[in-house]
Chains A and B, each alone.
Chain A
Amino acid sequence: MRWNKKLILFLGTIIVSVAIVFFVKNNAFIYNTPVGHVEDVQVLSKVLQEDNFGNKDYIVRQRLKIRILNGKQRNKLLNVNNEYSLSQATDLKYRTGQDVLLHFNYRKGHVAGTTITDLKRDVPLTILATIAISLLVLMGITGLRALFSLLLNTVLFFIAVEIDVQQEGFGVLAIFSILAGIFSLITLTLVLGWNKKMLVSFLTTVVGTFSAIIIGMIVFKITHNGGLHFETMEYVTQNPEPLFLAEIILGSLGAVMDESTDIIVSLAKLRKENPTISMKQLWISGRNIGKTIMGPLLNVLFMIFMSDTFSMMVLYLRNGNGWGYSFSMNMELGFVQSLISGIGIVLTVPIASWLVGIFFKKGAVRNA
């Protein structure tokens, strides 16, 4: 009986996933922009190129035969030219069978020319998303809870971004600090339930994160942003420095919560089993748990912050720039973000031990 249920869940997940992917594959009719299917590709020319730094590359002109999939021009065939290079830094090499987004240039009400704006990427993204979600669903109630928490946090994140844009970037730090608080309340409640452990973890997360940010701000202040190029931040539409601090708060939040729940759950258990345990013993136990997880946790963030810069780094290095300059223009801010997050992760250890000592008073742990 139990097996049957599992099998049904498994098959059901696969069928639903396939149905979703199939729908997205054929969803051109819901697009407002014209969508086309590449029926055939023909190479027109290939020209070798060499830049000032001796980099050898080539540019290929291709002619794509495209069938329109939606709108008034549906099923119409047309030829569109496209150029791509070996490196494909900002151009793309299209292949037969791909779907692309198009732009019609109208002249006097008639389509006078067509350009490809981008690849239609919704299908591969949907495939990845359905794999991830299916795996979580198959994990049962824990997986569903994690999924719910991620979706809820995503929605809140978008609302906060919307508010930030409406405020024109003023108060970005305040908006995302409040959001960070809400994020931790929701996430920790879903992980630990609504109880004292959750409250202590929440306080630890808030105090740990903000102590790190304050240390970071003090260092920026006394060094007059020494060596930091906030102007190199990507995609910036507002004052970069507070945005950077907001990014640090959000970025380190998950790691700090992870660590504080680990420590607090173990220490609360310790205090419950042994109510006479002293503050010093709590501190030692907290340290022992914390010290083994802080390195791996910091590495999680470090890999995320650093790997994002690879493409730009390669471009800088191949454009005749030195290592030091390329680092400071591309990787330095990610490095600083990692360092400040690391400070938060480390500070969480003593803060968690201290707060457990205060909140789980000797002999008053029945409700813990």
Chain B
Amino acid sequence: MPNAVIILAVILAALMMVVGGATGIRAFMSIILNFIVLFLNIALISWSFPAMAITIISSLIILAITIFMGSDDDRITQNAFYSSVLVLVVLVILIVLIKPHLMIQGFGNENNEDLEGMSLLIGIKFNDVMTSTMIISTLGAVAEAAIAIATGLEELIETTPDLDLAKIFHHGYDIGKEIIGTALNTLFFGFFGSFLGLFTWYVKLNYSFSEFFNNKIFAAEFSMILIGFIGVISTVPLTAWVIQFRQRHAEKHDSV
């Protein structure tokens, strides 16, 4: 029996090649490489390696793959990478602070059927696994937003040679405003697409508002959307700041 996964992967690779040429092939490769990193991330955590350290290393690799394989322009990719690393720092701090109060690790009553026959006493803290899930779920959106803003600003810098350095931050903010709506939508619909089943479950089984709002799985999904939003929004000032900083630095270098 032919495997649907392989057929779909071949179709996607072919389309990406036809539409994007070399860039398209690189885009396809970035998905495959990111998948390998994700898989190793899980495997290492399941082998009791420290989850936080593993996740941060995986996150840096994923950001690098997504950003550097996405574009040819070195300045754009470097700016986007630095700013997304800064956003990653912000998000890790936020997640570490909020997670002890959310306690969304592991599984809910809604998973009971999937857990049948499983040993749950596996000696791995699901708390750590959840940290990994929360951090990694936002990486794509952060990288995408950082690339969009860095690209927009770079175009502006190239077309306006006498651009006032002090105003770069301001321009970055304006460009950020333009992309923020669509970037949030991408994230928002992405999440809705992954928990449509869960929501029909809540409605079908008549969860009360308090049951639903305090539910472990709902809290997990909802907090991940919100953390993703906060990540994407903070990409705007941080990218603008990184570009201003590096531009100022480069000019100082030139004048010496």
Contact among A176, A216, A223, A296 with B3 in the assembled complex (CB-CB below 8 Å): A223
User: Contact mask A52-75 → B, CB, 8 Å, 1/0?
Assistant: 110111010000000000000000
User: Contact mask B165-192 → A, CB, 8 Å, 1/0?
Assistant: 0000000000001101111111111111
Are A234 and B31 interface neighbours, CB within 8 A? Answer: no
> SS class of chain B's interface: helix, strand, loop or mixed?
helix
Are A51 and B2 interface neighbours, CB within 8 A? Answer: no
Measured CA separation A53–B117 after assembly (Å): 13
Measured CA separation A101–B212 after assembly (Å): 12
Measured CA separation A164–B196 after assembly (Å): 11
A347 to chain B: which residues have CB within 8 Å? 15
Q: What is the size category of the interface that chain A forms with chain B?
A: 35 or more
If the complex has contacts A57-B122, A307-B133, are A251 and B181 also in contact, measured as CB distance less than 8 A?
A: no
Write 6 A-B pairs (CB below 8 A) sorted by A numbering: A121-B102, A122-B210, A219-B11, A296-B66, A300-B144, A302-B34
B20 to chain A: which residues have CB within 8 Å? 287, 290-291, 294, 346, 349
Q: Chain A CB within 10 Å — which of B126, B191, B196, B199 has the most?
A: B196
Are A136 and B186 interface neighbours, CB within 8 A? Answer: no
Measured CA separation A225–B177 after assembly (Å): 43
Residue of A nearest to B132 (CB): A310
Contact among A33, A158, A219, A304 with B8 in the assembled complex (CB-CB below 8 Å): A219
User: Contact mask A181-194 → B, CB, 8 Å, 1/0?
Assistant: 00100010011000
Contact among B8, B127, B147 with A88 in the assembled complex (CB-CB below 8 Å): B127
For window 346-364 of A, CB contacts with B under 8 Å fall at: 346-347, 349-350
Contact among B4, B35, B210, B222 with A306 in the assembled complex (CB-CB below 8 Å): B35
Are A246 and B103 interface neighbours, CB within 8 A? Answer: no
User: Contact mask A290-316 → B, CB, 8 Å, 1/0?
Assistant: 111111111111111111101111110
Distance in angstroms from B110 CB to nearest chain A CB is 6
Are B114 and A304 interface neighbours, CB within 8 A? Answer: no
Measured CA separation A33–B210 after assembly (Å): 8
Are A313 and B98 interface neighbours, CB within 8 A? Answer: no
The 5 closest A-B pairs by CB, nearest first: A251-B193, A295-B27, A254-B189, A291-B20, A57-B121
If the complex has contacts A128-B223, A219-B4, A295-B27, are A317 and B46 also in contact, measured as CB distance less than 8 A?
A: yes
Contact among A226, A306, A337 with B2 in the assembled complex (CB-CB below 8 Å): A226
Are A88 and B198 interface neighbours, CB within 8 A? Answer: no
A7 at the interface (CB under 8 A from B): no
Are A308 and B137 interface neighbours, CB within 8 A? Answer: yes
Residue of B nearest to A340 (CB): B8
Measured CA separation A31–B212 after assembly (Å): 13
Q: Chain B CB within 10 Å — which of A88, A143, A226, A299 has the most?
A: A299
Are B23 and A291 interface neighbours, CB within 8 A? Answer: yes
A220 at the interface (CB under 8 A from B): yes
Contact among B21, B129, B189 with A314 in the assembled complex (CB-CB below 8 Å): B129
Distance in angstroms from B28 CB to nearest chain A CB is 8
If the complex has contacts A255-B186, A302-B31, A304-B190, are A315 and B141 also in contact, measured as CB distance less than 8 A?
A: no
B159 at the interface (CB under 8 A from A): no
Which one, A12-20, A107-115, A145-153, A267-275, is touching chain B?
Answer: A145-153
Measured CA separation A202–B81 after assembly (Å): 32
Are B42 and A313 interface neighbours, CB within 8 A? Answer: yes
Measured CA separation A42–B7 after assembly (Å): 57
Are B119 and A55 interface neighbours, CB within 8 A? Answer: yes
Are A291 and B34 interface neighbours, CB within 8 A? Answer: no
Measured CA separation A153–B190 after assembly (Å): 13
Residue of B nearest to A306 (CB): B38
A318 at the interface (CB under 8 A from B): yes
Distance in angstroms from A184 CB to nearest chain B CB is 10
For window 17-33 of B, CB contacts with A under 8 Å fall at: 19-21, 23-24, 26-28, 30-31
Residue of A nearest to B1 (CB): A226
Are B121 and A87 interface neighbours, CB within 8 A? Answer: yes
B242 to chain A: which residues have CB within 8 Å? none
User: Contact mask B126-166 → A, CB, 8 Å, 1/0?
Assistant: 11011011101111110110011001000000000000000
Residue of A nearest to B131 (CB): A310
B85 at the interface (CB under 8 A from A): no
